[in-house]
Amino acid sequence: MKLATGGLLLCAMLLMIAQLSANSVSTRPGLHSMQFHLGGDTYAELRKAPDKAVNRPNPMENDPEAVAAGRLLFTDHCAECHGDDARGGRKGPSLRVSEVQNASPGTLFWLLTNGAVRKKMPAWSKLPEPQRWQLVRFLKWPGLAQTAPTEPESKP
């Protein structure tokens, strides 16, 4: 009897998760292309960074291994939503666009730390601060647009 109750609850939960997931995707245009299509204010969250955060320099800027480390962190934590090559995926927008590339390192660090809850971007404060800066270094690396995501790159 208890097993049956548990089974029923599990089925109900799976259906609910599937339904929520389906709803969240079906409201987006262009599902067939498996890409997250950009709304007008997709990157608006970047403009909300306070001045103090915007002006923070990246302490990993001159670290020769920061890009390679950031790439691995990106693969582990970001690629699921933003795509392996940061061009955008089913859940997250492209990070190669000018809004992101022209944002200061401090702005990207602020967004990574705080997330954008209403836009489904989680806060990554659980990652140690140096790792968040390494991610920022990778995102701001000029070679990002030209390089395949799986190529090792220890010295950009």
Partner 1 sequence: MNAWWTTEFYLDAQTTFHDSTVYSGFKWENRFRLLKREHWINPVLYAEFEDINGTDKTLKEVVGHDVELDYVKSNAQARQEHKREMELKLILSSNTKGWNFSENIIAEKNLSNEPWEFGYALAASRPLALKGSARRCTFCRQNFIVGAEMYGGLGDRHSFGLRKTSHYLAPVGGWNLPSGWTLRVSPGFGLNDNSHKFLLRWGVSREIKGFDQVLRHMFAAKS
Q: Least separation, in Å, of the C-beta of 79 and partner 1?
A: 9
Our CB check for partner 1 shows the closer of 52 and 118 to be 118
Binding site for partner 1 (CB under 8 A): 2-3, 5-6, 9-10, 13-15, 17-22, 24-25, 65, 68-70, 72-73, 80, 90, 113-123, 125-126, 128-131, 134, 152, 154
Measured distance CA(69)–CA(128) in Å, rounded: 13
21 vs 102, beta carbon nearer partner 1? 21
Shortest distance, CB of residue 113 to partner 1, whole angstroms? 6
Instruction: CB nearer to partner 1: give 81 or 97.
Output: 81
81-88: long-range contacts (C-beta < 8 A, 24 or more apart)? 81/120, 81/121, 84/149, 84/150, 85/148, 85/149, 86/139, 86/144, 86/149, 87/35, 88/35, 88/36, 88/38
SS3 label, residue 107: helix
In the complex, minimum distance from the CB of residue 53 to partner 1, in angstroms, rounded to a whole number: 11
Residue of 38, 80, 56, 81 whose CA lies nearest to 136 = 56
Please, which residue, 98 or 155, has the CB nearer to partner 1? 155
